[in-house]
A and B are shown apart, each in its own frame.
Chain A
Amino acid sequence: MQATTGEKIAFRLRWLRRRPSLVLGAVLVGFIVLMAILAPWLAPADPYQQNLMQALLPPSADHWMGTDAFGRDVFSRILYGARLSLLEVALGVGIAVMTGVPLGLVAGTIGGRTDHVIMWLMDVLFAFPGIVLAILIVSILGPTLINMLIAIAIFSIPIYARLTRNLTLGLKQLEYVQAARALGAGRLRIMFDHILRNALGPIIVQATLTAGTVVLTAASLSFLGLGAQPPTPEWGAMMSDGRNFLGVALWVSFFPGLAVTISVLGFNILGDGLRDLLDPRS
Chain B
Amino acid sequence: MQAYFVKKLLMLPLILLGVSFIVFVSIRALPGDPARLMAGPEATQQAVDDMRVRLGLEQPLPIQYAGFLMDAVRGDFGTSIRSQKPVSEELASRFGATMSLAAVAYFFATLIGVPAGMAAAVWKGRAPDQIVMIVAILGASVANFWLALIMMDYFAVQKGWLPLLGMGGPAHYVLPSITLGLLPMALVARMTRSSMIETLEQDYIRTARAKGLGAFRVYRRHALRNAMIPIVTIIGLNFGGVVGSTVVTETIFNWPGIGRLLVDAVRFRDYPIIQGVTLLAVVSVVVVNFLADLLISVLDPRVRFG
Contact = CB atoms under 8 A, between A and B. Distances in A.
A206 interface: no
Interface stretch (B53-61, B69-77, B204-212, B260-268): B260-268
Given A247-B157, A264-B143, A253 B149 contact: yes
B145 A247 contact: no
B3 interface: no
A239 B149 contact: yes
Given A132-B243, A132-B244, A268 B137 contact: yes
Contact of B18 (A120, A239, A272): A120
A261 B153 contact: no
Nearest to A142: B31
Nearest to B22: A124
Contact of A140 (B30, B137, B142): B30
Given A212-B141, A269-B137, A129 B281 contact: yes
Interface stretch (B90-98, B219-227, B245-253, B291-299): B245-253
A261 B143 CA distance: 6
B11 interface: yes
Contacts of B262: 132, 135
Contact of B278 (A128, A130, A138): A128
A49 interface: no
B157 A216 contact: no
A28 B30 CA distance: 41
Contact of B15 (A127, A138, A219, A265): A127
Contacts of B282: 127-129, 132
Residue from the set A143, A246, A258 with the largest chain B CB neighbour count within 10 Å? A246
Contact of B145 (A138, A143, A220): A220
Contact of B143 (A120, A128, A224, A257): A257
Contacts of B145: 219-220, 223, 239, 257
Contacts, number: 134
A238 B147 CA distance: 15
Interface residues of A, number: 43
A226 interface: yes
Residue from the set B18, B146, B240 with the largest chain A CB neighbour count within 10 Å? B146
A17 interface: no
A128 B239 CA distance: 11
B29 interface: yes
B158 interface: yes
Contacts of A136: 23, 26, 274, 278
Interface residues of B, number: 52
Given A128-B281, A140-B29, A135 B247 contact: yes
Contacts of B122: none
A260 B149 contact: no
Nearest to B269: A139
A260 B22 contact: no
B146 A257 contact: yes
A92 to B, nearest CB: 15
B19 interface: yes
Interface of A: 120-121, 123-124, 127-133, 135-140, 143, 212, 216, 219-220, 223-226, 239, 242-243, 246-247, 250, 253-254, 257-258, 260-261, 264-265, 268-269, 272
Given A132-B277, A226-B266, 4 more contacts: A120-B15, A124-B22, A137-B26, A139-B265
Interface of B: 11, 14-16, 18-19, 22-23, 26-27, 29-30, 137-138, 140-143, 145-147, 149-150, 152-153, 156-158, 164, 240-241, 243-245, 247-248, 251-252, 262-263, 265-267, 269, 271, 274, 277-278, 281-282, 285-286
Q: What are the 10 A-B residue pairs with the smallest beta carbon separation, nearest first?
A: A257-B146, A247-B157, A124-B18, A131-B244, A129-B244, A265-B141, A129-B240, A264-B141, A260-B143, A129-B243
30 contacts: A123-B15, A124-B22, A127-B19, A128-B19, A128-B240, A128-B281, A130-B244, A131-B247, A135-B247, A135-B266, A136-B23, A139-B265, A139-B269, A219-B143, A220-B248, A226-B266, A243-B149, A243-B252, A246-B157, A246-B164, A247-B158, A253-B146, A254-B146, A254-B149, A257-B147, A257-B150, A258-B146, A261-B142, A264-B141, A268-B141
